[in-house]
Structure 1
Amino acid sequence: MKVFISILWSFAPKNRYYPGSIVDVCVALAVLVYNAGYQSIIPVVEQLTGDGSGYHTRVAMERCDKLRVYYEHKKRKADVRAKMTEEERKQQEEKEQDDDEQLDDSYLPGAY
């Protein structure tokens, strides 16, 4: 629930006043992002503009999704290492030099 609320407040920060209609739009966008990632906003943008979204919009939404997955990967990796003993850490470091390049490809909507 905290993740959803943080997404919502990123669209409509609490330190400003917004009319109800704007808050409704922000809630709808937050639900889309939480459930299916930032790329799910593209059809909404296409409907609003009437002629489709631009190249840079698609690239930006793709980057946002990739960053989201990357930071979740780093967080999970740090959690696993925090639970390991010192000896287990050394053994794992010997096995894999630095697997930050190998991200988990299973993107789970709403999980990050």
Structure 2
Amino acid sequence: MKCPLVSVLPSREQIQCDPEYIQVTRQVPYDIWNNELQWSLSLSDHIIVALEDASLIQMNIDINGPDITVQGRRREVLSPVKVLENEAEFLALKLVSGQYAYSMEATCPKGG
């Protein structure tokens, strides 16, 4: 079985953590025919919502050209994790469309 290819330019991501919010910006993927796909958000692999319904999972969305920015309150969207013996907070968020899944995951240091 061959998986379809979705291309994204490397290093087009930005993660910002502050005491109240997390914000992740990445390029929106296109399929191999350069078509824009209809994306939804999956939080913690359980809840899936259309981009226009992102507020249902306490997220704000902005699409600006080829980039998508997601923002949410840390206390509402992050989960505690341990990374190399350090406590951190993890955003388990993915863009999904049909058979495609694209990571919007990010980790912030605990509390800031």
TM-score, normalised to structure 2, is: 0.21
> Larger relative CO (CA 8 A, sep 6+): 1 or 2?
1
In proportion to residue count, which structure has more strand?
2
Which one has a bigger Cα radius of gyration? Answer: 1
